[in-house]
Amino acid sequence: MKKIAYKITLIAITLSIFSCVEKQEESVQIIEDVNTPEEIVEDLNTKEVINYLALGDSYTIGQGVEIYQRWPNQLVQKINTLNYEVNKFKIIAQTGWTTTSLLQKVENTEISGFNLVSLLIGVNNQYQKKSFEIFETEFNLLLNKSIEYAGNINRVFVVSIPDYGVTPFGQPNRETISKEINLYNEYIAIQCKEKGIPFINITDISRDLGDSEGALASDNLHPSGIQYTKWMDLILPTVIELLEK
């Protein structure tokens, strides 16, 4: 009887050992399932959501070109091909707007939920011969509001004012227009530098292209979709840097 009891006890211990081994192997397998390479790859491919607000005037709204040819729209399309997804995109701009016009609009508009903001304004202040002192004050206010809307100073960029003096519309006063555009852009550049905000100079592109074939919209004043593509190509690297911060 003792031998039989001993054998039964030995068998029970052996089964218990095998049972523990099986449970340990099962536990290890579960851990391996949690950390599968496929899920790691999926995490790496998760796109950051971008909500983009473009503030400006006729150059931002794309006077004279199709919607898809506007430089902010082209920028959005390009961003979407990268490791980002533009979820919300809004343009607040209108032909003829000065800094006063844009400021009044944004102050009376509910704006929230953006993490990327661009600002391009000032040409109509120059064209309508508004006080330069008013421009200085209002541009600073708009720049501060852009920072507020972006929620982060590192997600704001400013685009320079193009030179319409090279167009058929502006050529009779080309020299004066160019000098005054320089004055506005110089002030904008200084304000951006003080705040560490990128200032992207597309003015040279407008001057290089002038009124050459394909450079202007049908009104012979505003840029064409082709010219806006060149702007976007210059703007994109800076925007990528901002998004990577």
Burial track 224-233 (b if 16+ CB lie within 10 A, e otherwise): bbebbebbbe
> How many alpha carbons fall within 13 Å on the CB side of residue 69?
16
Burial of 100 (0-12, 13-18, 19+ CB in 10 A): middle
- E strand or H helix at 195: helix 174-195
The C-alpha angle with vertex 185 and arms to 226 and 239, in degrees rounded to 5, equals 55
pLDDT in tens, 200-236: 999 999 999 999 999 999 999 999 999 999 999 999 9
CATH superfamily of 48-244: SGNH hydrolase (3.40.50.1110)
Share above pLDDT 70 across residues of the chain, in percent, rounded to a whole number: 82
pLDDT in tens, 28-46: 332 233 344 444 444 445 7
> Is-above-0.95 flag for pTM?
no
Phi-psi domain of 117 (left: phi exceeds 0; alpha: psi -120 through 50; beta: other) = beta
Give mean pLDDT, residues 69-81. 97
pLDDT confidence of residue 3? 45
Between residues 7 and 182, which one has the greater pLDDT? 182
